[in-house]
Amino acid sequence: MCVPPTSLVKSCTLMNRTEQNNCWWYLSSTHFAASAMAFSCWCCRKSQNVSFAGEDPKVHPDQQMDSDVDQLRRFSLEELKLATDYFSNENILGSGGFGKVYKGRLQDDSLVAVKRLEHKPTPDGELQFQTTTEIINMAVHPHVLRLSGFCMTTSEKLLVYPYMANGSVASHLRERPPSQPPLGWPTRKRVALGTARGLSYLHDHCNPKVIHRDVKAANILLDEEFEAVVGDFGLAKLMDYNDTHVITDVCGTAGHIAPEYLYNGICSEKTDVYGYGIMLLELITGQRAVDLAWIAAEDDLLLLDWVKVLLRENSVEELADPDLQGNYIEAEMKHLIKIALLCTRGSPSYRPKMSEVIRMVEGHSLSERWDEWQEMESCDPKLEVTLQTFYFTVDSTQLQRPIELSGPR
């Protein structure tokens, strides 16, 4: 149970439709990872007597899935069809490898986001749905997306979330219409802290702990008060404490995946710490983790490497998102950049825990770790870069295409 709270190539999810078609071939679902996640949840369900659809062939799936998620609202398929205008394309908020997300309006006039999983009549499809439902249901925290309900029939699997009117952080950084003001610096600082708190909760206050595995600006949502909410648990994994799990296939988004995870399949909470560091750099610069345009300019392909170069040149002002128009505090920006670089160190053992990151973002416990980082960089500044870029030789079919939200959710 959970204790109450006290970028290889540019990510295809950020490409236009033509680019998506060109790169779709290497973004596929991973059989072993889904099975591993499912097995973890099966063990958890066995100990808690959780019953899901499909476990009893004699019972229709729409009549099961009761015990551990009975506090969740179970929607009828007709309810969600009506809410989304029969899954109208006009209501699509985002799409990706797992399906599409629709904006919906329920009969009580409340707004929801309905995630409609692709219909795949395979065990993996059902197990992924069960895993996602259990993970989200057991996590209760202000900075973690709460599951409102679900719908499961023989032909449909849908998850219902609260509607986030302010969309994702990525949509504000890269898809903001001219009429919409950019995220101000105070808001970006709150996003950094709120995201850290949400991830720390998943790592340290859930048993089994939850590894998100796809931390990026597109998966950090903003509530009515522009507070950060960690969302999209489509790739999340349940893990026992002190467990470092090795899997055959790797899930995530190019440029956001930790080196040890992509190269060796080693997954731990430090995988999320790395993703958080890249997300911080997105938040500061407004840039994508990987940008192919940088190739033509003979610049560094990875946002992380570009940041390191400018930091060594003491050109921190060039890192600031132009949308900020200079309205930021340079010392605070440098502080967050340092945290991002500590979180993205090549070796996971050198990265801080998310609980430590919280203290750093709040202004504590940074100096000693930063001195260590500078010492290592001065000894061999190419070492850390090598650890980040070696995975360009890795078979890209290991990458999975997660859902990218283009607007409010």
Q: In the prediction, which pLDDT does 148 show?
A: 92
Average pLDDT over residues 113-118: 90
Do both 154 and 206 map to the same domain? no
Domain end call among 162, 182, 200: 162
- Residues whose CB is less than 8 angstroms from the CB of residue 94 and which lie 6 or more positions away in sequence, other chains included: 100, 101, 403, 404, 405, 406, 407, 409
pLDDT tens column, 6-21: 433 333 444 444 444 4
Helix (H, G, I), strand (E, B) or coil at 351: coil
> Nearest CA to 23 among 409, 295, 403, 399?
399
Query: For residue 51, what are the domain limits?
Result: 25-162
Report the CATH number that the domain containing residue 366 is assigned in CATH: 1.10.510.10
Do both 144 and 256 map to the same domain? no
Choose between 199 and 130: higher pLDDT. 199
- Residues whose CB is less than 8 angstroms from the CB of residue 47 and which lie 6 or more positions away in sequence, other chains included: none
Do both 346 and 237 map to the same domain? yes
Domain count, the chain: 2
H-type alpha helices, 205-315: 259-264, 269-285, 293-296, 303-312
Instruction: Read off the DSSP letter of residue 75.
Output: -
Q: In the prediction, which pLDDT does 312 show?
A: 82
Q: In the prediction, which pLDDT does 305 show?
A: 87
pLDDT at 163 over 50: yes
On the question of a cis peptide bond just before residue 181, with omega within 30 degrees of 0, the verdict is no
Do both 384 and 251 map to the same domain? yes
Query: What is the band of 391 on the pLDDT scale with cuts at 50, 70, 90?
Result: very low
Domain end call among 120, 147, 162: 162
Do both 75 and 211 map to the same domain? no
* Rounded Cα distance, 399 and 252, in Å: 6
Average pLDDT over residues 336-350: 94
13 occurs within a structural domain: no
Report the CATH number that the domain containing residue 116 is assigned in CATH: 3.30.200.20
Asked whether the beta carbons of 365 and 286 are under 8 A apart, the reply is no
Do both 241 and 385 map to the same domain? yes
pLDDT at 115 over 70: yes
Domain end call among 162, 188, 220: 162
Choose between 49 and 396: higher pLDDT. 49
Q: In the prediction, which pLDDT does 239 show?
A: 65
Do both 345 and 311 map to the same domain? yes
Active site residue 214: yes
Residue of 108, 124, 204, 214 with catalytic role = 214
* Rounded Cα distance, 78 and 82, in Å: 6
Query: What is the band of 26 on the pLDDT scale with cuts at 50, 70, 90?
Result: very low
pLDDT at 251 over 60: yes
Query: What is the band of 297 on the pLDDT scale with cuts at 50, 70, 90?
Result: low
Choose between 324 and 403: higher pLDDT. 324
pLDDT at 395 over 90: no
pLDDT tens column, 29-53: 333 333 344 444 444 444 443 333 3
- The reply to whether 115 sits in an annotated binding site is yes
Give pTM, 2 decimals.
0.74
Query: What is the band of 122 on the pLDDT scale with cuts at 50, 70, 90?
Result: low
Do both 46 and 86 map to the same domain? yes
5 occurs within a structural domain: no
